[in-house]
């Protein structure tokens, strides 16, 4: 069974600083990987996804993530954080061939200081 670990429960950064949120997964084959963002009182919005090919994927809102098979990681990055990026971020892994087995990490809460 697949699993996802987000080791950082809460991260605080200053506006304009760079950001990296960590995600490690466990899955026997090539996984499908996702990052979602949840703003307060909102549902989940898909930021980006990795299925195959280029290991550096670009998403919405200036986010990118890099798939590193050797480290079983899919870390999310943003070069300059905006106050509106404050939210909860979830990494998820899906089994190859089907989306129904999405497994979510525990989430990382991002606080942005002015």
- Which residues bind to other proteins, rule: CB under 8 A? 32, 34, 36, 41-46, 49, 51, 90, 94, 97-100, 102, 104-107
Question: CB-based burial of residue 100 (10 Å sphere; 0-12 exposed, 13-18 middle, 19+ buried)?
Answer: exposed
Alpha-carbon span 22 to 53, nearest angstrom: 21
Cβ contact 67:55 at 8 Å? yes
Nearer to other proteins among residue 74 and residue 107 (C-beta): 107
CB of 7 vs other proteins, minimal distance in Å: 14
Smaller CB separation from other proteins, 14 or 45: 45
Least separation, in Å, of the C-beta of 26 and other proteins? 15
- SS3 call for 68: strand
Smallest separation (angstroms) from other proteins to the CB of 67? 15
């Amino acid at each position: 069974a697949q699993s996802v670990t987000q080791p950082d429960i809460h991260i605080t950064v200053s506006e304009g600083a760079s950001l990296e949120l960590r995600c490690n997964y466990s899955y026997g084959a090539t996984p499908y990987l996702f990052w979602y963002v949840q703003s307060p009182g909102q549902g989940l919005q898909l930021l980006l996804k990795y299925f195959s090919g280029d290991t550096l994927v670009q998403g919405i809102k200036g986010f990118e993530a890099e798939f590193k098979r050797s480290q079983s990681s899919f870390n999310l990055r943003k070069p300059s954080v905006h106050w509106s990026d404050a939210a909860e971020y979830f990494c998820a892994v899906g089994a190859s061939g089907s989306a129904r087995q999405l497994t979510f990490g525990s989430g990382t809460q991002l606080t942005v200081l002015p």
